[in-house]
Chain A
Amino acid sequence: MPVNRRQFIQIGGAALGGAAVASGLTTKWWGLDRDRVADPATDGETVATFCELCFWGCGVKAHVRDGRVTKIVGNPDHPLSRGMLCPRGAGGTGLLYDPDRLTRPLVRRRERGEDVFEPVSWDAALNEVGEKLLRVKARHGAEAVALFTHGSGGTWFKHFMKAWGSPNVGAPSYAQCRGPREAGFLLTYGTPLGSPEPIDLANARVITLIGSHLGENMHNTQVQELAEAIGAGAELVVVDPRFSVAAGKARYWLPIRPGTDIALLLAWMNVILTEGRYDAEYLAKNAVGLDELKAHVADKTPEWAYVHTGIRPDLIRASARLIASARPASLIHPGRHTTWYGDDTQRERAMAILAALLGSWGRRGGYLSFGKMSLPAYPVAKPMPHPERKEADKPKAGGFPIAGEVIASGLCDASVPGSALYDLKAWIAYGCNLMQALPSRPQTIKAIQNLELLVAVDVLPAEICGWADVVLPEATYLERDDDVAAPAYKQPFLALRQQVVPPLGESRPGWWIAKELAGKVALGEYFPWKDAREYVDARLRAGGHDVAKARATGVVLGKPAASCEEEGLPVQIATDSKKIELRSAQLAQLGFDPIPQYYPPDDGPPGHFRLLAGRAPTHTFGRTVNNRLLAEPYPENEVWVNADAARALPGFDGPLRTGDRVMLVNQDGARSGPVRAKVTERIRGDCVFLVHGWGQTARKLRYAYGRGASDTALTTRYKTDPIMGGTGMNVNFVKLEPAGRSA
């Protein structure tokens, strides 16, 4: 009879006295047992693959013991993880063994959004999708089908869309995230930045973060390099309305009034230009528009900026001088989530221009050029069809001339009849919860109600699944093979996604779902491979790589090339003029400000706080909030409220205290669920902060459902960037209402 210690103690010695004689228990009182620190026995066979908890793609090794993944550790051979992981990467088992996972294909049986489904066979589910897709194609053309995709398994569905003949493939990671930055750098230097960003944090001597909360925003390699830089004595300048983790490490923290960053950037340029602290030689050689820029910022003094930003002139001057003192190894971090106020391309332009004044583009400690390993495509005999119509992601009247990628919110808009060049009638949502990713939930729902088909491919029953007609359960990244990852990086590499354990239930890998679906719509010829493993092996072999070695280590390393001027690579500028455009001729021609101008942001109604959102290191927006392992150190989000402001909030009997539950109500009456307050000195009094991704409305996410508050639900307004279509979401204001003491 197996009895554990607690049971033994509860039952007491009398009943089990006989058994105890035979066990070690009798001896322990005499000190005869050997003291022992137990081995938890979590080492096992390892499989090298790469992570999918966020989109950085760090190399990992998964330990398997008795068929279960016991732990996930960093792969030392992988350039992005270098053997180290962030909490999410280490917490991948929380996703794999999430008890709420989708394990069977589902077909909707009630109204959209009621989240009532019937489990069906794969054959039935794919037949239904196939039939409806063909019907949409017959009635509206192949282009009426759109794919929203985020994540490595998406490559199979992108391939499906090419074969199908629709150009409407978008990711919210552009117009809801990186887009303005890509446009700003494209306009200034002729190249977007991409991911991983080609920045040299490790060698920077001053690092300036503008709204980026690196350290809470946990892009592994960047955080590693940030720490390396700090260890080597680099100084930080942090511009943030919130005292972020990075601000806590900064020489200068500039607690800026939200929405006024361009004023600060112009004032910094004013100081650097008027005090002659810029790299004149570099600019003379590489840039155009310096005289116009000088004239433009001549009156943008720190005193002028103080009025707008709330940052004292002496602090603006001191920080500008520190930033300039380290040039060219002075990195103006470009940020990543940059869709804030609708003027975001211009803010990123201002950051790019500041980087140019420091001569840091193409220089060590600044912006680098990354190389990429190429790999031959898997041969597909049948030529791909050419879509007859171009993307429907822009309004009928046109606009967003600098958009370099498809605008996901534009695809959503195009599903409301008559909005775009033509109407979209079917969506495939691969691994992206559009309910949280797109701005304005009511608008997304309106678009969905016009669709003839919505298919969701996901690992978990995310909110978007509740709105789908058919839900296809995908296997997690630990249960599937995917295409090779080959991002541009200073150490070029290929990384392999390899199945560690078999898929749970009837969940299937993305490659299988796409291939089977292709078979249902007579596109099987475009998917000639047996499976993803054969596909990847063929590509590796065609590229002349040792397949067995690649499978063992999970990585193929390429030759690093010179990445900056110090390594012998001349400064690379790809604009039409082949110069850094401090003044953008292209923007002037399009009728936009050729040099960024400051326009004051709109204020909120009285008694309201501007709603800001960001990250916690344990979470990747809504993707991880149901992960019970990651929930242990961070169980739900909190609303950050300034301590002074919390003392006398309208509608509250007494001061608000940390842990009290409040409701957030926005300017249009949209409400959040109850959320705990974090009353803190670490934020300005005119804004509140939420970690994005919480406040899930999907009931089937049994852990996350109803926990914390959703910033998306409170984002009923957004401001569209006229240059590239980004949706600025920091333009909503909330007031707080009491929701009773915490349970």
Chain B
Amino acid sequence: MKKRYAMAVDTRRCVGCNACVISCKTENALPEGGFRDWVVQEVSGKFPDLAMEIRSERCNHCSAPSCVDACPTGASHVAEGGVVGVTKAKCTGCKACIAACPYGARYVHPAGYADKCTFCLHRVQLGKQPACVETCPTRSLTFGDLSDPGSPVAQLVASRRHKVLAPERGTEPNVFFLA
């Protein structure tokens, strides 16, 4: 069966510490001000009746990626396992993908191309976990092949209440937030 890489983010475990962000920045040698992942703290209610959801967010590697549709040069593409990638050499930095992405997952690298999360495909291809998953001290992040029903990510998505972000946009995200 065709691989479908996905991530489950456990919002109950996550403390929003930003270890995922820093490890991504060093693993991928990101420029100052460039982020491929980030932390959102969403607070609801009035004092003292409050609730908070903490999410480690990144590209959703959508099954129907609006960014790929919007790319005029073919730089944005669907790579192995459904990973949405950008081929640097084909990207002109036109930002059409940035406008098309509902998640703010992309930024323009100072070298002139759109940059974003790759699910650390360069590591995954070597049998390693993405850098953010490996370092996460709360083990909030579970990465794997959703097509494999035995994989931890498939089991989490099958067994836990979850949501995706902006489902109304019809992008079919592959990052699932466990409640």
Contact = CB atoms under 8 A, between A and B. Distances in A.
A90 B135 contact: yes
A392 B19 CA distance: 42
Interface residues of B, number: 62
Contacts of B91: 5
Interface residues of A, number: 69
B73 A5 contact: no
Given A37-B122, A617-B17, A643-B47, A248 B52 contact: yes
Contacts of B90: 28, 33, 35
Contacts, number: 195
Contacts of B21: 87, 632-633
A740 to B, nearest CB: 25
B130 interface: no
A618 B17 contact: yes
Given A227-B139, A248-B50, A37 B85 contact: yes
A35 B87 contact: yes
Interface stretch (A67-75, A191-199, A602-610): A67-75
A220 B33 CA distance: 26
B106 to A, nearest CB: 14
A86 B35 CA distance: 17
B85 A35 contact: yes
A87 B73 contact: no
A85 B25 contact: no
B121 A633 contact: no
A212 B54 CA distance: 19
B93 to A, nearest CB: 7
Interface in B71-90: 73-74, 77, 79, 83, 85-90
A681 B47 CA distance: 5
Contact of B137 (A28, A85, A247): A85
A35 B83 CA distance: 12
B155 to A, nearest CB: 14
Given A84-B137, A90-B26, A629-B25, A617 B43 contact: no
Given A37-B83, A90-B23, A216 B15 contact: yes
Contacts of B35: 632-633
B17 A70 contact: no
A255 B48 contact: yes
Interface string B132-155: 001111111000000000000000
B170 interface: no
A291 interface: no
B15 A617 contact: yes
Interface string B4-44: 00000010111111110111011111001101001101010
Contact of B23 (A9, A71, A247, A642): A71
Interface stretch (A38-46, A334-342, A407-415): A38-46
A681 B137 contact: no
Contacts of B48: 243, 253, 255
Nearest to A633: B18
B99 to A, nearest CB: 18
Given A28-B89, A40-B27, 4 more contacts: A37-B85, A73-B131, A85-B19, A682-B43
Interface of B: 10, 12-19, 21-23, 25-29, 32-33, 35, 38-39, 41, 43, 45-48, 50-54, 73-74, 77, 79, 83, 85-93, 110-113, 118, 121-122, 131, 134-140
26 contacts: A4-B112, A5-B89, A5-B93, A28-B74, A28-B89, A33-B87, A35-B85, A36-B85, A36-B89, A37-B85, A37-B122, A73-B131, A84-B136, A86-B19, A90-B135, A215-B16, A230-B13, A243-B47, A246-B15, A247-B50, A248-B43, A248-B54, A630-B22, A633-B39, A642-B47, A682-B52
